[in-house]
Amino acid sequence: MTETTTTPATAPRPALPLPETAARGLVAVGGLATAASAFLSWTYSSSFPGDLTVTGYPGGLQWVTLVAGALVLLFALSGYRIRGLRWLTPGGADGATVIVAVGALATTWFTLIAIADELGGLANLTSGGWIAGIASLLGLLGALGLPRDRTESGEKNPLKRILAYPGNRPDLSPAPALPAAVELLVIAVAVAIGLGIFTFGIDTSYGELFGGFLIAASFASWALSRSGALGRLTDITGRHRVYSAVLAFVAAAVFPFTQSNDANATIGVNLLIFGGTALGLNVVVGLTGLLDLGYVAFLGVGAYTAALVSGAATSSVHVTFPFWAAALTGAAISGIFGIILGAPTLRVRGDYLAIVTLGFGEIFRIVVNNLDGVSGPNVTGGPNGIPNIPDLTIFGFNLGNSHTIGGITLGRFANYFELMLVFIAIIVLIFSRSSSSRIGRAWVAIREDETAATAMGINAFRFKLLAFALGATLAGLAGTVMAHVNFSVVPDPFVFAGPVPPNSAFLLAAVVIGGMGTVTGPLIGAALFYLLQAKLQFLQSYQLLLFGIALILFMRFRPEGLIANKQRRLEFHEDETESAELSTAGA
Partner 1 sequence: MTDTTIAPGTGSAPAPGTPLLEARGVIMRFGGLTAVNNVDLTVNTGEIIGLIGPNGAGKTTFFNCLTGLYIPTEGQVTYKGTVLPPKPFKVTQAGMARTFQNIRLFHNMSVLENVLVGRHTRTKEGIVSAILRGPGYRREEADSREKAMALLEFTGLARKASHLARNLPYGEQRKLEIARALASEPGLLLLDEPTAGMNPQETRATEELVFAIRDRGIAVLVIEHDMRFIFNLCDRVAVLVQGEKLVEGTSEVVQADERVIAAYLGTPYEAAPGSTADAGSGADAGSRADADSGSASDAEGTIPEEDEQ
C-beta of 4 vs 584, nearer to partner 1: 584
- Which region among 143-151, 243-251, 453-461, 540-548 touches partner 1 (by CB under 8 A)? 453-461
| 175 part of the interface to partner 1, by CB under 8 A | no
**Position 6, amino acid:** T
Burial label for 355, CB within 10 Å (0-12, 13-18, 19+), is middle
Closest CA to 507 of 337, 351, 273, 214: 273
454 binds partner 1 (CB under 8 A): yes
Specify the residue, 442 or 563, whose C-beta has the smaller distance to partner 1.
Answer: 442
Q: By C-beta, is 3 or 574 nearer to partner 1?
A: 574
Only segment of 9-17, 176-184, 358-366, 428-436 that touches partner 1 (CB under 8 A): 428-436
- How distant is the alpha carbon of residue 76 from its chain centre? 28
Given candidates 127, 205, 261, 567, which one binds partner 1 under the rule CB under 8 A? 567
Euclidean distance between CA atoms 15 and 23, whole angstroms: 11
73 vs 427, beta carbon nearer partner 1: 427
Burial class, 584, CB count within 10 angstroms (exposed 0-12 / middle 13-18 / buried 19+)? exposed
d(CA 77, CA 371) in angstroms, rounded, equals 66
445 sits near partner 1 (criterion: CB under 8 A): yes
From 94-102, 142-150, 349-357, 575-583, span contacting partner 1 (CB under 8 A): 575-583
Q: Does 153 bind partner 1 (CB under 8 A)?
A: no
Beta-carbon neighbour count of residue 129 at 10 Å? 23
Of 94-102, 213-221, 534-542, 579-587, the window that binds partner 1 (rule: CB under 8 A) is: 579-587
CA angle 243, 247, 252 (to 5 degrees): 150
177-180 contacts at long range (C-beta below 8 A, 24 or more positions apart): 177/239, 178/236
Residue 438 lies near partner 1 (rule: CB under 8 A): yes
Q: Which stretch binds partner 1 (CB under 8 A): 38-46, 427-435, 522-530, 536-544?
A: 427-435
SS3 state at 125: strand
Strand partners, 393: 398
Q: Pick one of 127, 378, 437, 537: the residue that binds partner 1 (CB under 8 A).
A: 437
d(C-alpha 518, C-alpha 514), whole Å: 8
What whole-number distance in Å separates Cα of residue 53 and Cα of residue 61? 12
Cβ proximity to partner 1: between 132 and 290 the closer is: 290
Q: Which is nearer to partner 1, 536 or 580 (CB)?
A: 580
Q: State the nearest-atom distance from the C-beta of 278 to partner 1, in Å.
A: 19
How many amino acids of this chain bind partner 1 (CB under 8 A)?
35
User: Could you tell me if 327 and 480 are in contact, meaning their C-beta atoms sit under 8 angstroms apart?
Assistant: yes
Q: Are 27 and 139 in contact (CB under 8 A)?
A: yes
Whole-angstrom CA distances from 296 to 20, 173, 360, 430, 495 are 55, 40, 10, 19, 7
From CA 471, how far away is CA 280, in angstroms rounded? 4
Instruction: Please state, as a whole number, how many other Cβ atoms lie within 10 Å of the Cβ of residue 471.
Output: 30
Residue 130: exposure state from Cβ atoms within 10 A (0-12, 13-18, ≥19): middle
Contacts with partner 1, 456-485, as mask; x by CB under 8 A: xxxxx-----x---x---------------
Stretches 356-364, 444-452, 498-506, 532-540: which one binds partner 1 (CB under 8 A)? 444-452
Verify binding: residue 563, partner 1, rule CB under 8 A: no
Question: In angstroms, what is the minimal distance from the CB of 515 to partner 1?
Answer: 14
Q: Does 571 bind partner 1 (CB under 8 A)?
A: yes
Q: Kindly write out the interface string for residues 267-296 of this chain, putting x where it contacts partner 1 by CB under 8 A and - elsewhere.
A: ------------------------------
Q: Choose which of 117, 155, 448, 492 interacts with partner 1 (CB under 8 A).
A: 448
Residue 576 CB, shortest distance to partner 1, in Å, is: 14
Question: Toward partner 1, which CB reaches closer, 336 or 570?
Answer: 570
Residue 350 Cβ, how far from partner 1 at the closest point, in Å? 17
Closest among 268, 386, 400 to 323, alpha carbons compared:
400
Examine residue 429 and tell whether it contacts partner 1 (CB under 8 A): yes
Cα diameter, the chain: 80
Q: Which is nearer to partner 1, 117 or 571 (CB)?
A: 571
- Window contacting partner 1 (CB under 8 A); options: 133-141, 176-184, 344-352, 434-442: 434-442
Q: Which is nearer to partner 1, 102 or 470 (CB)?
A: 470
- What residues contact residue 132 under an 8 Å CB cut-off, 6+ apart? 34, 37, 38, 40, 42, 65, 108, 111, 112
Considering only 449, 497, 548, 550, the residue that binds partner 1 (CB under 8 A) is 449
Region of 391 (left: φ > 0; alpha: ψ -120 to 50; beta: rest) is: beta
Rule CB under 8 A: say whether 347 interacts with partner 1.
Answer: no
Judge contact between 96 and 226, C-beta under 8 A.
yes
85, 188, 430, 539: residue in contact with partner 1 (rule CB under 8 A)? 430
Residue 394 binding partner 1, by CB under 8 A = no
**Min CB(451)–partner 1 separation in Å:** 7
433 binds partner 1 (CB under 8 A): yes
Interaction between residue 582 and partner 1 (CB under 8 A): yes
Binding site for partner 1 (CB under 8 A): 429-430, 433-434, 437-442, 444-445, 448-449, 451-460, 466, 470, 567-568, 570-571, 580-583, 587
